[in-house]
Amino acid sequence: MILFTTEPSPVGELTLVGDGRSLTGLFMTDHRHRPTLPAGARRDDSAFAAARLQLGEYFAGERTRFDLPVKLEGTLFQREVWRALRDIGYGETESYGALARRIGRPHASRAVGLANGRNPISIVVPCHRVVGASGSLTGYGGGIEHKRFLLQLESAAVRPVLLARAS
């Protein structure tokens, strides 16, 4: 059974999708590759209590890593890219080329970008942390303004910690 709920956030309403055990989707309202909910999907707000709590903590700047069961469904290559996204630290960015090299596919930066754009669990699987080679903000399924917001949110939370360490 496919379950879903919605959650307000600073980047607009989020739709959370799952199977009762794992989160299988997290989409923004205007998400580029947002699938339609299948017939028979049932709204169940209680099934997503942990995800809603952790998203609230993330947007409040109190959570830097999500601890949620996720189920990533896609091609073998897509899943490889999506798993690697989870290793990009909070407040950090990585280029598409660097990500391609890290997964052992140095000539696949364009394919990495395509897989990144198809990430079904935005924010929790942090595809917003992937940028162009020059550090420029390139495409984002949820919209470039939301990518900018998420990166600014994370950098604002990291900056005081770095300043405290330097003191």
88-98 per-position pLDDT tens digit: 999 999 999 99
Is residue 147 annotated as part of the catalytic site, yes or no? no
Same domain? 118 vs 161:
yes
Look up the domain containing 17 and give its range.
3-59
Q: Please state the three-class secondary structure of the chain as a single string.
A: CCEEEEECCCCCCEEEEECCCCEEEEEECCCCCCCCCCCCCEECHHHHHHHHHHHHHHHCCCCCCCCCCECCCCCHHHHHHHHHHCCCCCCCCEEHHHHHHHCCCCCCHHHHHHHHHCCCECCCCCHHHEECCCCCCCCCCCCHHHHHHHHHHHHHHHHHHHHHHHC
Tell me if 71 is assigned to some domain: no
Same domain? 115 vs 39:
no
- Mean pLDDT (the chain) is 88
pLDDT at 155: 87
Q: Which of 16, 112, 127, 153 is catalytic?
A: 127
pLDDT at 161: 42
Same domain? 55 vs 83:
no
- For the segment 139-163, the average pLDDT, to the nearest whole number, is 74
